[in-house]
Structure 1
Amino acid sequence: MRSTLRTRTTPQAARSLQAARTARSAQAARATAAAVVAGALALALTACGGDDDKNSTGSGKETGGTSEPSVQLPNLKGQTLEVAAVWTGAEQKNFMKVMDEFEKRTGAEIGFVPTGNNTSTFLGTKIQGGKPPDVAFLPQVGVLHQFAEKGWVKPLGAEAQAQVDKNFSQGWKDLGAYKGKQYGAYVKAANKSLVWYNTANFEAAGLSDTPKTWKDFLSTAQTLSDAGSPAVSIGGADGWTLTDWFENVYLSQAGPEKYDQLAAHKIKWTDPSVKKALTTLAELWGKDELIAGGRKGALNTEFPKSVTQTFSGDTPAGMVFEGDFVTANINADTKAEVGTDAKVFSFPAVGDASPVVSGGDAAVILKDGEGAQALLTFLASTDAAEIWAAQGGFLSPSKTMDQATYKDAVTRQIAKALVEAGDDFRFDMSDQAPAAFGGTQGVGEWKDLQDFLSNPKDVAGTQQKLEADAAKAYADQ
């Protein structure tokens, strides 16, 4: 048990969760909107230079000194609240800046409980043992639904609900709801369709353009490798990163309708579309010379290291794929400047258009009470979002927060594209699945894709394992 106040350590996991697609949006309209968002994002990224990368908001919210609070909080002096989440390192440190402000306003004391990668298992054990944290962040929609079904999460009170209603679009509200009740607030989002690159490596290899298609991406990787740089850094020790690779390839190649069907297990993982996506991934994963440390090295590399070995060290890699939260590791663990030394482009189009896969973390109440409800109210407010944004490595789906509070211009543009997408987005596929398949270290999709990275020739065997694991998990939920 590692539940101690102000703990700053724990394995990294990432975040993400899929969309309870609103009945109002037709399939074709959502697909069109996703393409529009992809185009807007690509335009925004290319427009971001290095001159506006520092936070120059003057808002006073960099460390919690908000001018006029947007939400009133009760006096909680003498109370100690525990918050559980998967974050470690820079991400956890940035979150605790938000908690510092809550403590300042309420007099409460916040303890951080690290969950490790197996969030649902960790929390389930704590709940069944009668010692749940007051508030937890769930990185999977499927887990929120399972917890709600068991009565483990508590509905939001009137004040927290008011903040959610005011600050978030219907699509993000729907993600935190179950059977007509609001159980969670998606206060942290992610754009998981980004590739970050080392500009010095690109320049040394004579690369002046970023790749727009998968074919171009492979060509760029080969050029970097030929010039002496490890081409692509992969954090394969964290299986969730591999699910994100698959989802981006699959969404772009198979299309949104197939994506939704596979996410709901309405088609099997033995479907030809899955074979095609895995075969495409193998075009990169099957070439050791294009991967930093080769396949073996990738499988021993956790996500944070995959970022730092792209922007630091004697032989940094040329590119690393992952979401906007990469900036937290760049800012904290390297000397690279986002927007200058570290730039970003949209995940390359494998099919007709670049994919846009979103994710997020839902704040939920596990132990009801005035303190927990007040904390959810604060987390759903623009005050919390703006303090968090000023730290870097954070993206909010809040439609009312001050976008100028983001730490750098790149994140600001990514956030703008996310908010402008409204309710039309695709959520992380693995986060929609039961945790036993899509959200648990060492089993299910995470393990099956790690095995595939180890042996990218075994497409058929990987499909069979994925289907067997998925079928069991969905049957047991």
Structure 2
Amino acid sequence: MRVRKALTTSRIPTALVATSLALALAACGGGDDGKKDKDKAAGGGAAKETVDLPKLDGETLEVAAVWTGTEQENFKKVLAEFENRTGATVKFVPAQDPIINFLGSKIAGGAPPDVAMLPQVGAIHQAVEKGWAKPLGEEAKAQLAKNYSQGWQDLGSHEGKPYGVYYKAANKSLIWYNTQVFENAGAKEPKSWDELMATAQAVYDSGVTPFSVGGADGWTLTDWFENVYLSQAGPEKYDQLAKHEIKWTDPSVKEALTTLAQVWGKADYVAGGADGALQTEFPASVTQTFSKGDQPKAAMVYEGDFVQVNIGETDAKVGTDAKVFPFPAVGDSAPVVSGGDAAVILEDSKASQALATFLASPDAAGIQAKLGGYLSPNKAVDSSAYPNEVQRKMAEALIEAGDDFRFDMSDQAPQAFGGTPGKGEWKILQDFLKNPKDVEGAQKKLEAAAAKAYGD
């Protein structure tokens, strides 16, 4: 069985992070007392300079990422600050999933981007193994050592050598809800899976579909599975499955899929049913939960802190119309699953190294933090940079957690299994969403795809 060396997750106390997050969200009551910060951050603005950057007049850089919409626009403001400080010109290159395939075609055509933002740990390893990724220089490594916990540094490394700067992190253990729907249904924020099911039934009885699921994007379904699995099976099993040290036919996987089927297989619990969910992309799964008009299509949508970006595209306000609670405990403790995007250099130059250094500094992260819908694992970013109390508390909990978290399981896998539309885990869980009674069949397909991808 092939086990990737750099798949460092947390050491043990996931429950500690879950407790910190729950307390953080409870402390702010879902409230948004950051209006002044929002007004101040509306245009982005330059960050206080803490890192020296070289003059790069006349240099041109290309940065590829799969980000779209508001997320892409906010990142472009960060790149604009790099341009202002160095004189370089930076072009954003929209990429498609799977990004490794996109980069492969660019490299084969002799036109690779200088830097790529890779959303999977497995993609970093593949980029290194293919000889595409270039090691980080001394300046970038110095910023990493100063600003990042060891766990985040390890996630961006291959066989102990740093290749990736985790510019963006995500807390993927959150459920967002329409407060008016909850109020009408007399529903309260649940803390356990059983309470979540009771809340869903109360919402359903009030005449609103409980859940919105962006099933057209397979990664949302892997995130659902990972939260249930981590809480139910525990951290040790989670780490073993992430490395394919146990098979997907393991009884613990059967238990998690059976639990998931309580939502996915319940008639009228998912907006549009399975067929509708499989045609709903992630952004629409959010906006239809907080849509204009008297009747949203669903009461709740599961996903990470970045949901705020899409809520911002509606009339709903985070902290009043839209609130959030931690993914409820399915087992002994609530899960905390993290994800992230790492900047990796493909064309080694003074300019690309300077950009990696900038992205590893609090200067860059501080700009995007002010714009909302973003979390940084950079511990040097002041939490006051975030635009509302909800996000400030999430950011503080992330930093206080240190290395005590579990990284997104599918993002640790080879991309052929965990990160390719229409294939592997994404496709099999989409099929399972459509037929959640076939637990055993889904397990067999998952194991066959995993064995092939891991080279077993």
Answer yes or no: is the 8 Å Cα contact 2:154–2:160 preserved in 1: no
* Aligned match for 2:179, one of 185, 199, 216: 199
Matched, 1:323 2:310: no
Equivalent residue number for residue 256 of structure 1: 235
Q: Deviations over 1:240-299 (max 9, x none)?
A: 000000000000000011001100001110111101100000011001311111111111
Q: Deviations over 1:108-142 (max 9, x none)?
A: 12111111221111012212222110100111111
Count of equivalent residues: 450
Question: 1-side partners of 2:405 and 2:446: how far apart?
Answer: 25
Matched, 1:20 2:10: no
**Residues 55 and 244 of structure 1: CA distance in aligned 2, closer, same or farther (over 3 Å):** farther
**Residues 53 and 234 of structure 1: CA distance in aligned 2, closer, same or farther (over 3 Å):** farther
Question: 2-side partners of 1:18 and 1:195: how far apart?
Answer: 32
Answer yes or no: is the 8 Å Cα contact 2:17–2:401 preserved in 1: yes
Equivalent residue number for residue 282 of structure 1: 261
Question: 2-side partners of 1:330 and 1:53: how far apart?
Answer: 16
The Cα of 1:77 is off from its aligned counterpart by: 1.9
Answer yes or no: is the 8 Å Cα contact 2:5–2:158 preserved in 1: no
Structure 2 letter corresponding to 1:210: E
SS of residue in 2 equivalent to 1:351? coil
Question: 2-side partners of 1:53 and 1:287: how far apart?
Answer: 39
* Aligned match for 1:240, one of 189, 199, 219: 219
Answer yes or no: is the 8 Å Cα contact 1:230–1:318 preserved in 2: yes
CA RMSD of aligned residues (A): 1.8
Answer yes or no: is the 8 Å Cα contact 1:53–1:339 preserved in 2: no
* Aligned match for 1:387, one of 367, 370, 383: 367
The Cα of 1:65 is off from its aligned counterpart by: 2.2
Q: Which runs of no fewer than 5 residues in structure 1 stay unpaired?
A: 1-16
Question: 2-side partners of 1:374 and 1:326: how far apart?
Answer: 31
Question: 1-side partners of 2:346 and 2:383: how far apart?
Answer: 31
The Cα of 1:180 is off from its aligned counterpart by: 2.3
* Aligned match for 2:114, one of 125, 128, 134: 134
Q: Deviations over 1:365-395 (max 9, x none)?
A: 0011011111111111101011010010100
Equivalent residue number for residue 158 of structure 2: 178
Matched, 1:145 2:128: no
Answer yes or no: is the 8 Å Cα contact 1:20–1:171 preserved in 2: no
Percent same amino acid at aligned positions? 66
The Cα of 1:57 is off from its aligned counterpart by: 8.3
**Residues 204 and 211 of structure 1: CA distance in aligned 2, closer, same or farther (over 3 Å):** same
SS of residue in 1 equivalent to 2:196? helix
Q: Which residues of 2 match residues 41-440 of structure 1 at below 5 A?
A: 41-49=21-29, 50-54=31-35, 56=37, 63-66=44-47, 68-207=48-187, 209-314=188-293, 315-316=295-296, 317-331=298-312, 333-440=313-420
Q: Deviations over 1:319-377 (max 9, x none)?
A: 0000001011111x111111111110000111011000011001010011011111111
Task: Single out whichever of 74-83 and 258-267 deviates more from structure 2.
Answer: 74-83
Question: 2-side partners of 1:230 and 1:439: how far apart?
Answer: 29
Question: 1-side partners of 2:6 and 2:182: how far apart?
Answer: 36
Q: Which runs of 4+ in 1 moved over 4 A?
A: 57-62
Equivalent residue number for residue 461 of structure 1: 441
Task: Single out whichever of 341-350 and 306-315 deviates more from structure 2.
Answer: 306-315
Question: 1-side partners of 2:427 and 2:333: how far apart?
Answer: 29
SS of residue in 1 equivalent to 2:268? helix
Answer yes or no: is the 8 Å Cα contact 1:18–1:431 preserved in 2: no
Q: Deviations over 1:178-225 (max 9, x none)?
A: 122110111100000000011111011112x20111111111111111
Structure 1 letter corresponding to 2:67: W
Question: 2-side partners of 1:127 and 1:327: how far apart?
Answer: 35
**Residues 301 and 170 of structure 1: CA distance in aligned 2, closer, same or farther (over 3 Å):** same
Question: 2-side partners of 1:391 and 1:198: how far apart?
Answer: 22
Question: 1-side partners of 2:322 and 2:340: how far apart?
Answer: 23
* Aligned match for 1:452, one of 407, 422, 432: 432
Equivalent residue number for residue 8 of structure 1: none
**Residues 408 and 276 of structure 1: CA distance in aligned 2, closer, same or farther (over 3 Å):** same
Question: 2-side partners of 1:223 and 1:72: how far apart?
Answer: 56
Structure 2 letter corresponding to 1:414: M
The Cα of 1:313 is off from its aligned counterpart by: 3.4
